[in-house]
């Protein structure tokens, strides 16, 4: 099999098979799911998530999602747990075991040990008749009819279902905690996502450049200021208040008019009422204004006084775009 049509056909079949399995999960949500969410929400401890094989990988992803949305979680590999890592589990922790079959040797050894410590347990499994399902407090049914693998062997659809069930848990808990974008920013300070949530105009380095000229400055001084500050613009400022703006485009248009500009001043060529933002404006909101107005820079004010310039290039450099 190497034809392009065959490859595309198999890709589509895989996606369709998994999407149908995921859609079916909604019909498998029972009161156990609600009780499991409330158990975790009211717990004074953490969520310990365990599994083996591909389920262990899914467990790690669910742990990451919970941690990033306000629910403390720790991954514990089921095989390592029975060789010393059981010490991870504290008295108030809730344990989630993930297993498609619910009957793996590691699970059969691990579950009784956790039960003996009296920790509450939740299963995410595709087999509600399994050893695991019979031993835990609550069962989240992640049953799938078959894997996307043509041999029905490689964990594909089943691990996708486990992941979706974990996402459903995390989002329910997020909603119950009233987890806001500010909370999200606190847990995601790095990368472009974090910057969109916390970076403000005043935090952008070029704002401190503050290109500015007086209204009576001659054109040569304006050109020098725009050139030296390299932001393509200068504010026209009087008594620390913005009265206008001059862009490099304004300079080019003036030169194209073939007029004697030696007698002109900044106030003769400036645009009045320029677009501006407060220094504490979110950087992503400044970007929205630039896109809406079709401009590449905004003047910045702080307490009504001129504070600098934020440029589109700054936002690109910071990863906001």
Which residues fall in the annotated binding site?
Answer: 77
Say if residues 274 and 299 touch (Cβ distance below 8 Å): yes
Say if residues 315 and 287 touch (Cβ distance below 8 Å): yes
Residues making up the annotated binding site for Zn(2+) are 77
In this structure, the strands spanning 276-278 and 297-302 are parallel
Tokens 């200068």 locate to 234
Q: Which residues pair with 248 in a beta bridge?
A: none
How far is the CA of 281 from the CAs of 261, 277, 287, in angstroms?
37, 7, 10
Cβ neighbours for 255, distance < 8 A, ≥ 6 positions apart: 261
- Helices vs strands, H then E, count in the chain: 14, 11
Say if residues 267 and 215 touch (Cβ distance below 8 Å): yes
Say if residues 222 and 234 touch (Cβ distance below 8 Å): yes
> By C-alpha distance, which of 255, 257, 214, 254 is closest to 234?
214
DSSP character for 235?
Answer: E
Give the SS3 label for residue 305: strand
Phi, psi angles (nearest 5°) of residue 235:
-80, 150
Distance CA 109, CA 24 (A): 31
């Amino acid at each position: 099999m190497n034809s392009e049509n065959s490859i595309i056909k198999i890709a589509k079949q895989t996606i369709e098979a998994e999407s149908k399995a995921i859609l079916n999960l909604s019909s498998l949500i029972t009161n156990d799911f609600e009780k499991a969410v409330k158990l975790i929400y009211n717990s004074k401890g953490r969520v310990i998530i365990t599994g083996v094989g591909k389920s262990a990988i899914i467990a790690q992803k669910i742990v990451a999602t919970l941690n990033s949305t306000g629910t403390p979680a720790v991954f514990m590999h089921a095989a390592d747990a029975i060789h010393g890592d059981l010490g991870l589990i504290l008295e108030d922790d809730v344990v989630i075991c993930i297993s498609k079959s619910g009957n793996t040797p590691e699970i059969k050894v691990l579950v009784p040990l956790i039960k003996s410590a009296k920790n509450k347990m939740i299963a995410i499994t595709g087999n509600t008749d399994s050893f695991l399902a019979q031993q835990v407090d609550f069962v989240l049914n992640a049953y799938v009819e078959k894997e996307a693998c043509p041999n029905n062997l490689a964990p594909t659809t089943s691990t996708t279902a486990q992941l979706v069930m974990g996402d459903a848990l995390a989002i329910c808990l997020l909603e119950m905690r009233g987890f806001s974008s500010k909370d999200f920013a606190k847990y995601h300070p790095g990368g472009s996502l974090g910057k969109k949530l916390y970076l403000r105009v005043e935090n952008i380095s070029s704002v401190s450049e503050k290109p500015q000229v007086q209204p009576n400055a001659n054109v040569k001084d304006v050109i020098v200021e725009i050139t030296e500050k390299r932001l393509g613009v200068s504010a026209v400022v009087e008594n620390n208040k913005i009265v206008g703006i001059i862009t490099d485009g304004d300079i080019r248009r003036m030169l194209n008019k073939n007029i004697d500009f030696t007698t002109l001043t900044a106030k003769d060529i400036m645009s009045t009422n320029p677009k501006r933002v407060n220094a504490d404006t979110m950087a992503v909101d400044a970007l929205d204004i630039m896109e809406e107005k079709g401009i590449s820079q905004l003047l910045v004010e702080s307490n009504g006084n001129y504070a600098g310039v934020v440029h589109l290039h700054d936002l690109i450099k910071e990863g906001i775009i």
